[in-house]
Every structure is written in C-alpha cells, then in structure tokens.
Structure 1
Amino acid sequence: MPALCRDCQHRAETAFTRCPACGSRRTIAHPDLFRLTVAHVDCDAFYASVEKRDRPELLTRPVIVGGGKRGVVAACCYIARTRGVRSAMPMFKALAACPDAVVIKPDIAKYVREGRRIRTMMEALTPLVQPMSIDEAVLDLAGTEALHGAPPAVVLARFALAVEREVGVTVSVGLAANRLMAKLAAERDKPRGFAVIGADEAAAWLAPQPVSVLPGVGPALAKRLQAAGFSTLGQLASLAPREAAQRFGEDGPSLAARARGEDARRVTPDRETKSISAETTFETDIAAREALEAPLWRLCEKLARRLKEKDLAAAGVTLKLKTAGFATRTRAARLPQPTRLPEVLFAAARPMLAKEADGTAFRLIGIGAQPLAPADQADLGDLADPEAPKRAARWAAVEALRARFGDDAIVKGRGLRKRPGE
C-alpha cells in the first residue's frame, strides 16, 4: 500500500508507521494515495491561530475571537473547544463554559491579509483553486504531477509545511475523488490533519454516519429526515431517484446521491458571490424603531461600500433582526433597479423594519444585498427616477472625501442618532 511521510515526503509502496528516512510518525498510507487529485484545504481555528501566532504568550491559553458580552464567538482555539466553546455561540454562554478564556476582538483586515497569502500559495500549486471562505478552498491538482515532479499528495504535504513555516498557522487537508468527500476528509483529522478517502470506500464510510454529517443538511432537514425514518446516510443512500423525489421533492435524488458519496461538481476558480451583507450586535437590546434606524443607516453605508469593493450592485435587499431570545427574523424586497447607494438601500429596508419593530427587543440588526447585479447596471436612472445618476455622483464624492480625510469627515444626521446601549 503506497505510503508517505508528511514531514520529509519520503515515499514507499509499502505502508510504514514510522518514517524510515526521518523517524516521523506523521505518516499516511492509502491504496489511492498517489492517484487522487481533489483536495479540500481548511485552516485550523484560523482567526484564533493568527492571534496566537502574533501573541505567543497565549499559546497555551484558551482564546476566543469575538465581540463583547453581547456578541457571538467568531472563532475559538482548540483548547477552548475542549471546554465546550463553539463558533456562533453567544459570548455569554462561551464565557460561562470557559471563564478563563482570553477574548480578542476580531481583526478582519488581518485575517483577510493572511488568508490571501495562503491563497497565493495554493494558486502556485494549480490554477484550479476555488475559495470557499477566507480560510478554506478546494483544489484540483489533476495534471500537475509533471510540473511539480510529484503526485498531488506529496505536493499538498509540502504545502501544509510551507504554510506553517511562512504564515505561522496550520492547515488540514482532505484528499479524495470529488469535492464532497474531500471536504469530509478534511474534517476527519483536525487539527494539522491529512486524511484520504478513496472513491471505492466512500459509500461504505458514509453509511453509518448520521445524516447531519452531510454538508447542507442543517438541523431542520436532519430532523425532517429522522422523522421520515432516515437517521443514517446509508438509509438515505438506499433510495432510488424516483422514491427520493417522492419523499423529499426535487432535491431528493441529489440528496440520496450525496449520501452515497457522489458529487459531479467541478472545481471552479471564480466562485460566484451570491450575497453581500453587514450586521452589528448591540450592547443592550433595542426595541424602538427610531433607535434601530441609526445603526441600520450606518450598515447601509457599509453595505454600499462593500458592493463597490466587489464591483457589484444590489438587486434586492434583505433585512435581518435577531431578538433578545435569539430568534431570527428576515424580510426581503426586490428593488426597481439595481443600486449601490446607501439611501436607496435604507429606503427599501426602512418599511420592513417598521413592520418588525412591534415592541420586540432586538439584539442584532443586519442588511444584505441579494440577489446581486453587475455594477454597470446600478443607479442608471429612468423616467420614474431621473435623479439616480446625480445621487450616485454625490455618494462617490462623499466616499472620496472620506477616503482622504476619514469616515467622520461627512456624516449624515441619521447616522448620529446613537441610542444608549447601541
């Protein structure tokens, strides 16, 4: 069985548990090790790892990256995870589970910068790199063996060590025959892992797993599947396409196929952005509509800026509110024409906010653009709104002044209406 040392890249056709060349026990053996080409690379506790890299005194401490006591956990290190802390957990629950944790405010600009460094290193391996988030991507290394003088497994082992050495964080690698199984493999051996799942073993490996293991199967769908008698992926995989459609609608056949480990998706470097959003969590709950409008306006300005950065426009607006009891409310509206102007985004979101501001106390508000449209379709004006191009020019001038003199150079009155606890 082909084997590889992940530290010195010694290769052999017979499995070994300790590398005969360097003595390392970080070895891996699999029948398809040197034939598989699709990999999922995921940084380990990325935000927290970057912070620990920059503050070595925190190496042995539990670290949580997130907002204040009213916020949620953006990321946490593995020490904190052993205490029960999880991403997206309310901060007060995280601190109750791990009271000695060091809480660090997120530095998104820094994480984006480091994520791009890693992305550049990936793109040196293959042009087929599809980003999945700031710290993970799927790669297809088919046809690159001649370029690198080694099969993909060896190239990926070298890459993982290079990231540790040059960036100072660790990654986990999943190698498989398709994107679905590569992702599941990457989650199998974290942190600093390297797992392989071959095409012939995928269905058998998945069969005993709970349905919730499958990407895209959230709590609601998992509950629905279990209520229908499908608690494991093996049970789901046994469904014929027609029966799967009858039971679970048009997505049923695809769901059953994925439960068997089947995935025909290709690695596409230019993944389409489907939505852009901005949100904020309040220090204390806010119920009054007027008090909610000030942060909503500032979020509309932030969203407009992000649309410009992505060279996109909003063809629709989504309002998000989270109650004091953590229940999420969303409302959506299509726009008459695409926009990148905060005042248009605000005008669309404001009536939706008025309907939801019924006395309920909210802890979070957010605004999103979905669906998206090309930037060149934004704010063109028409007979119903001939002033749109002029407003776009004014907003561009405001942004230019802010870029030169700071965000406080020009502030709308509604953006100043801060309320206690905001």
Structure 2
Amino acid sequence: MDTRERTTAVGHLDADCFYVSAERVRDAFLVDKPVGVLGNQGACVIAKSYEMKAAGVKTADPIWEALVKCPDGIYVKRDFRWYEVLSRLMRDLVHELSPRVEYYSIDEFFFQAEVRGGRTFQDLAEAMRDRIWERIGVPVTVGIARTRTLAKLISDAAKPHGALAVIDEDEVEQFLAVQPVTEITGVAGRRAARLAPWGIATCLDLARADRRLVRKLLTAAGETLWWELNGEPVQAIHSRRPAHKALSRGGSFGESTADPMVLYAWLVRNLERLIEELRFHDVAAGRLTVMVQYKTGHTGAGGKSLVVPSDRFDVLLETARPCLRQAWMRGVQATHMHLIAENLAPRGQCALALFDPPSQRIQAEAVARVKEQINDRHGRFTLRSAATLYLPSIYRDTANAYDICDIRGKICF
C-alpha cells in the first residue's frame, strides 16, 4: 500500500429516510413517530420512516393500503423545494471536508476522501456524519473505501446514522464475504440469476470470479463492478453534472378528462413548468414533443422542431399547440400528459430567428423576467401566463393544497 492509497479514497454519503428526516427538521413533533410522505396527488407513499417501515408500509403503497397497515401513522404533504434546500446545505458541508464532490442525487453524494495529519478515514467518516447532524439535523450514513462501488456497499450496510471506513484488504474481503451479490447497485434479480449457476452468490464470489466470465454474464458494466470490488477505481467522481439530453415535465391529471379545454389548460400548466426547468439549466429547446396517455392504454404523441432553439413561452406555446392536436384522441378519456424538450442548446448561444421582430423578442423577455421576479418573491406560479385558463381545479387542489411541484431528476443540481 503506497502513500497515495493511504491518504486518498472514495466516500459515499446517503441521508437516512431523507424526506422524512427533512420534515422532522422543521417539526420535532414527528420525531420517533411513524411518518409517511405522500406523492403528487396524495395517492401513494413515496417515503417512510423506519417506524412506518416496521409496520409493513412500503414505498409506492397506495395511501388506502398504508392506512390499513399503519393506522396510527402521520401522512404529510411532500415539499421538494424544502428537501432541495437541505440537500444544498448538505452539499456545502461535504465540500468543507472534501475537495471533490459528486451530487449523485438529492440525498446522496460521492466525494474524494482525504486524510492528513495523523487522522484516519474512520475519523473522516465520523466527522462528516456528525457535522451534518449537528448543523442541519439530518441523519446521514457515510461509507469510505477504495472505490465507489465499495463505498456505497459499506454505507448501505452501516445504516442508519452510521460511519464506517473499510480500507484494509483483509477487512474488505471479510465484509464482501457476508454481502449478497444483490446488494450491489445494478445487480438485481435477473442478473443475480445469471450468476447463480456459477456459484456466485456473495459480493466476494463476484470479486473472485474470472473477469472474462463476469464480462460475458454481465457485459462491460459487470466488468466495471468486478474491478471496483477488487479495489481498482474505475468509476470517477464527477464534480460537474453531465449535460442533459432532454428535459420533461408532466404527470397524472388526477382525474381523467376528455374535455379539450382541460387538456389545453394542462398543456399551458406543464409548459410553464418545463420553461422553468429550461431556465434553471440555462438551455433552450430545439424540439418539443407532447405525449398524452389515455384510459384505453393508447398514447398519442405530437412533435415539432423549432427553427431556432428557444425557452420563450410565446414561441414554445405556438409550437406545442399543433403537437397537442396530433396527440389528441377525440372523446377518449385522457389520464396523463408529458412535454419533452429535446435538442437542447446552451441559452444565449443560439442564433436569432430571422422573422422574430426585435420588439417582440424584447417584450417577451421582459415579461419573462417580471414573472420570474414576482414568483421568486411571492411563491411559485403566483403570476401565470395570460394563456392560462381559469381552471383552479387543475392548478390547485383546494381541499388538500397539493400543488404540483417537481424533482430535478437523478442529478439534481
């Protein structure tokens, strides 16, 4: 083991029951109680506390089933904006102890682990866990190892609120020997079934298997895992988010409809959400697709390319209208709609349209800025486009105040 190996490793930090933990940060009444966080329409459980899990509630359980399993549970509205606030605070604290951090998801980070001055990796794991708990109040688990795959395996095994560094080769071997191969991210039932006839049941079995056999059974992705299990880092830490190939907004209507005016209202609503996302990532759409799903199981789709990539509401609405007409099935009950922006281009690096009058462009940009400023100050979508129809049942459920909001995907910053 050389000096570099003794001072540099890979860490994985994962928040414990993050959505529930975030709710407990601002409401201590929820601590030690069975808590479930509900999804967009309040119809299913998207996260649950360990207490609720012990009662048999699973992620994605419908609310009516969860209530039977855990009648004493507390079910709360999800608040992804609040979760993102805490996620960013966690990111900043990880940065205090690591020079290189990958924002893997809203509650999960990989980081470069470095120790100096006589400290150990175990010291670092405990320091990072304790710092986040003391400053933010979110319990996290930290694992440190030679590679990403090993670090995630270790943090998963150390939950909840654990901190564990396993660097020594003998200790790694002992750890892998008791971990089922299905504990590895990317090795689920079907892949495990391919390995079983070869006697590969544990992580150590996979690490000790012939590399060429692993590649044959699990392709190049499996070979990557093989190298990582053997302590050879193959997967780098990506401190910068890779560029998106597409952005999408949409979802369930909550109640099916065949009314074309209601469908148009959803088109406007989802387009505003999509434009918000385009501006967040500082890109413009070169192509727009509208997809509508129906109760019959059919899906209608319409797509159109833009002459010049844009994130302007007026331009994208004119593009979206004919797409909706293509996707519409007259008289058939629709249940979902999704808008997909593709052929993304960096905002500000797109050529101007030849037939877009400067005065119209300047006015559209000014309106967009005013909307953003008002909504940033007074609440999301407080000010809407004039194209929005007066359909409050779509834009807000007054009974439960479930307003539609979004998660920013797997890599969320």
TM-score range, shorter chain: 0.7 to 0.9
Q: Distance in 2 between matches of 1:298 and 1:122?
A: 36
Question: Alignment partner of 2:149: what SS?
Answer: helix
CA change 1:389–1:141 in 2 (3 A) is farther
Shift, 1:328, TM fit: 11
Gaps of 5+ in 2: 376-380, 398-413
Which of 153, 159, 171 is the aligned partner of 2:128?
159
Find the partner of 1:190 among 159, 171, 174. 159
In 2, the alpha carbon distance for the partners of 1:240 and 1:415 equals 63
Partner of 1:60: 32
1:243–1:118: structure 2 CA closer, same or farther, 3 Å change rule?
closer
Among 94, 100, 111, the alignment partner of 2:83 is 111
Deviation at 1:109, TM superposition (A): 2.3
Q: Is the 8 A contact 1:319 1:349 kept in 2?
A: no
Q: Which has the higher contact order (CA 8 A, sep 6+)?
A: 2
In the TM superposition, what is the alpha-carbon distance from 1:288 to its structure 2 partner?
4.9
Cα distance, 1:37–1:249 mapped onto 2, change above 3 Å: closer
CA distance in 2, matches of 1:307, 1:356: 25
Deviation at 1:64, TM superposition (A): 1.6
Map 1:281-360 to 2 at 5 A.
281-288=252-259, 290-317=261-288, 335-336=305-306, 337-346=308-317, 347-348=319-320, 351=323, 354-355=326-327, 357=329
In the other structure, the counterpart of 2:106 is 134
Query: Structure 1: which 5+ residue stretches go unaligned?
Result: 1-32
Is 2:279–2:311's contact at 8 Å kept on the other side of the alignment?
Answer: yes
* Deviation digits for residues 131-180 of structure 1 (CA, Å, limit 9, x no counterpart): 111222111123x424xx62332122122112212111100111111112
Match of 1:145 in 2: 116
Which of 265, 269, 273 is residue 235 of structure 2 equivalent to?
265
TM-score under structure 1 normalisation?
A: 0.73
Query: What amino acid is the match of 2:256?
Result: D
Inter-CA distance 88–271: structure 2 relative to 1 (3 Å threshold): farther
Tell me the SS of whatever aligns to 2:348.
Answer: helix
Q: Is the 8 A contact 1:71 1:90 kept in 2?
A: yes
Q: Which residue of 2 aligns with 1:171?
A: 140
SS of corresponding position for 2:129:
helix
Q: Does 1:79 align with 2:51?
A: yes
**Partner-residue secondary structure (3-state), 2:158:** coil
Q: What secondary structure is seen at the aligned counterpart in 2 of 1:184? A: helix
Deviation track 1:54-95 (CA, whole Å, cap 9, x = no partner) reads: 222222322122236654433221112223334444444434
Mapped contact 2:45–2:62 kept (Cα < 8 A): yes
What does the per-residue CA deviation read over 1:261-300, in whole Å, with 9 as the maximum and x for residues that have no partner? 7651221211224254333433323355553332232111
SS of the residue 2:97 aligns to: coil
> In structure 1, what residue type is equivalent to 2:111?
L
Q: SS state of the match for residue 37, structure 1?
A: strand
- Cα separation, partners in 2 of 1:119 and 1:392, compared to 1, 3 Å: farther
Q: Which residue of 2 aligns with 1:411?
A: 385
Q: Cα RMSD over matched residues? A: 4.1
Structure 1 position 239, deviation (Å):
7.3
- The answer on 1:213 being equivalent to 2:183 is yes
- CA contact under 8 A between 2:301 and 2:326: conserved in structure 1? no
- Distance in 2 between residues matched to 1:289 and 1:211, nearest whole Å: 51
| Separation of aligned partners in 1, 2:362 and 2:67 | 47
Amino acid at match of 1:176: A
Which residue pairs with 1:24 in the alignment? none
Describe the SS at the equivalent of 1:85. coil
8 Å CA contact retained: 1:278, 1:367: yes
Cα distance in 2, alignment partners of residues 402 and 320 from structure 1: 27
**Given the superposition, is the C-alpha separation of residues 176 and 405 from structure 1 closer, same or farther in structure 2, using an over 3 Å criterion?**
closer
Q: Are residue 226 (structure 1) and residue 193 (structure 2) matched?
A: yes
Partner of 2:20: 48
Following superposition, the deviation at residue 313 of structure 1 comes to 2.7
> Structure 1 vs Structure 2: percent identity of aligned residues?
25
Displacement of 1:49 after TM fit? Answer: 0.8
Deviation at 1:126, TM superposition (A): 1.5
- Residue 375 of structure 1 pairs with residue 342 of structure 2: no
Q: CA offsets per residue over residues 21-40 of structure 1, 9 Å max, x none?
A: xxxxxxxxxxxx97662110
Q: Tell me the secondary structure at the aligned position of residue 145 of structure 1.
A: coil
> What amino acid is the match of 2:91?
R
The letter for the 2-side match of 1:269 is: S
Count, aligned residues: 380
Is the CA contact 2:15–2:139 (under 8 Å) kept in the aligned structure 1?
Answer: yes
Q: What is the SS of the residue equivalent to 2:134?
A: helix
Instruction: Kindly provide the amino acid, as one letter, of the partner of residue 301 in structure 1.
Output: E
8 Å CA contact 1:180, 1:261 repeated in 2: no
Residues 137, 369 of structure 1: CA spacing in aligned structure 2 closer, same or farther, 3 A cutoff? farther
Instruction: Please give the alpha-carbon distance, in whole angstroms, between the structure 1 residues aligned to 2:369 and 2:251.
Output: 25
Q: Within 2, Cα distance between the matches of 1:78 and 1:320?
A: 38
* Paired letter, 2:269: R
| CA distance 1:188–1:229, change in 2 (3 Å) | closer
Q: Conserved in 1, the CA contact under 8 Å of 2:145 and 2:166?
A: yes
The verdict on how the C-alpha distance between 1:367 and 1:197 changes in structure 2, with shifts beyond 3 A counting, is: farther
Return closer, same or farther for 1:156/1:244 CA change in 2, 3 Å cut-off.
closer
Task: Determine helix, strand or coil for the equivalent of 1:41.
Answer: strand
